[in-house]
Amino acid sequence: MSNYPKILAFAGSAREDSFNKKLVKIAAEGARLAGGEVTYLDLRDLPMPLFDEDLEEREGILDNVLKFKEIMRANQGLLISCPEYNSSITPLLKNAIDWASRPEPDQVGLSCFKDKVAAIMSASPGGLGGLRGLIHVRAILGSIGVLVLPEQKAISNADRAFDQQGNLQDEKQKGDIQKLGSKLVAVLAKLKD
């Protein structure tokens, strides 16, 4: 097992050219530069149907859910970039959290959230940058036992914030997002001691 903190980075957006996918990759770069071992996951690669207890009862925990849970359990930290939909969390992110919270025969329901530390961020074309949605993401993660770092960033006017390569054009903003990744690595390293 690696001595470096292991971090899972993903966005709560399915859109191919998602601002939040670009944003979380910048935070992941900051985590790597600080010594973290980062796995990037596009939730489109593990499609999960809308959570339905009847479906779960009929078919059990679905293969993609099991894969997602396995990936989550293999990491100590989470970098999550969260778009804001109607002042709240996206259905994609909420659905992934709901499926991941389901118990398996040999696990308790919230096992993949146990002892996790998360850094959250958002990007939106709007003036608040998705800030209202982060309130709900923080509340949900906190209520299932995830320690969410107090630092967070919301990038407004995201439709003009990124260059063609997916980098933030404003160097200060880019540095702030990278610091979220490096801060997560630092906190995980301290908790390991």
> Can you give the CATH number for the domain in which 23 is found?
3.40.50.360
Check: CB of residue 161 under 8 Å from CB of residue 155. Answer: yes
Q: Is the pLDDT of residue 3 over 80?
A: no
Mean pLDDT of 80-106: 94
Q: Is residue 86 part of a domain?
A: yes
Is 26 inside a domain boundary? yes
At 109, the pLDDT band (50, 70, 90 cuts) reads confident
> pTM to 2 decimals?
0.95
- Structure confidence by residue, pLDDT tens digits, 134-189: 999 999 999 999 999 999 999 999 999 999 999 999 999 999 999 999 999 999 99
Domain of 167?
6-192
The number of folded domains in the chain is 1
Instruction: Judge whether residue 1 has pLDDT over 50.
Output: no
Instruction: Write down the pLDDT at residue 181.
Output: 98
pLDDT for res 31 = 98
185 occurs within a structural domain:
yes
How confident is the model over 44-79, as pLDDT tens digits?
999 999 999 999 999 999 999 999 999 999 999 999
Rounded CA separation 104/109 (Å): 7
Query: 124 with 159: CB under 8 angstroms?
Result: no
Residue 12 lies in a domain: yes
Contact call for residues 156 and 83 (beta carbons, < 8 A)? no
**pLDDT tens, 10-51?**
999 999 999 999 999 999 999 999 999 999 999 999 999 999
Residue 122 belongs to a domain: yes
- Does 115 reside within a domain? yes
Q: Between 107 and 24, name the one with better pLDDT.
A: 24
Sheet holding 117-123, edge to edge: 37-41, 6-11, 77-81, 117-123, 147-155
With respect to residue 1, please indicate whether it lies within any of the assigned structural domains: no
CA distances, 122 to each of 22, 99, 107, 151 (Å)? 10, 22, 31, 12
Say if residues 44 and 82 touch (Cβ distance below 8 Å).
no
Long-range CB pairs of 88-93, under 8 A, 24+ apart, other chains included: 88/132, 88/133, 88/136, 89/12, 89/133, 89/136, 89/137, 89/140, 90/12, 90/13, 90/133, 91/50, 92/12, 92/13, 92/14, 92/43, 93/12, 93/43, 93/137
Cβ partners under 8 Å of residue 45, min gap 6: none
Which tokens in the block code for residue 185?
């690595």
11 within a domain of the structure (yes/no): yes
Structure confidence at residue 2 as a pLDDT band (50, 70, 90) = low
